[in-house]
A and B are shown apart, each in its own frame.
Chain A
């Protein structure tokens, strides 16, 4: 089983600032990496897949990069609706696994 490790656990950012979230895989997942956003009381929502392809309706301020074992989700200018928990997930093989999440909170 591939272990996904996210850092930091909590990120305090002011609105309008950039947020950079990291995700590390215990072994290569190639480019089979997705990101999700979860707001309080809601189900996770797919943000990004294939490392850097935005899902339908996801604004361009969200971008992804990386390959192999190191990945980054960047939110270029945080909006109020972006404060949430973000999860990375690999789907390189079974079982697909998730990171433990990074909470982006208002500074």
Chain B
């Protein structure tokens, strides 16, 4: 059974960098599929952020591309997300998920990140 678990600080100061890690169990990331990050807010709903393939090929949401970096560490069976220069608008529930390219499944439980001084 594939399971994903997000981890990272729950509070980030404005202008700093948000860093999250997703640890995958029950499946080797290196075996294939894309791996992605999605965030959810009451105002904007579900927003796909980025997805990465084990080879390193990555795709980003155009509106976030200048501030976002997604990376994969197959040795640790993890992938990560960095969002730089955060503002209150980056406050959200962040999810990681396996991106099958025909749907996102499964998802992690989500981690709430608040941007505040």
Contacts and interface: CB of A to CB of B under 8 A. Distances in A.
Interface residues of A, number: 23
Given A1-B62, A94-B59, A49 B45 contact: no
A34 interface: yes
Interface of A: 1, 32, 34, 36, 42-46, 49-50, 55, 87, 89, 91, 94-101
B26 interface: no
Interface of B: 45-48, 59-62, 95, 97, 100-110
A98 B48 contact: yes
Given A1-B62, A94-B59, A95-B62, A46 B46 contact: no
A20 to B, nearest CB: 21
Given A96-B48, A100-B45, A46 B62 contact: no
Contacts of B110: 43
Contacts of A89: 46, 103-104
Given A96-B48, A97-B48, A98-B45, A43 B109 contact: yes
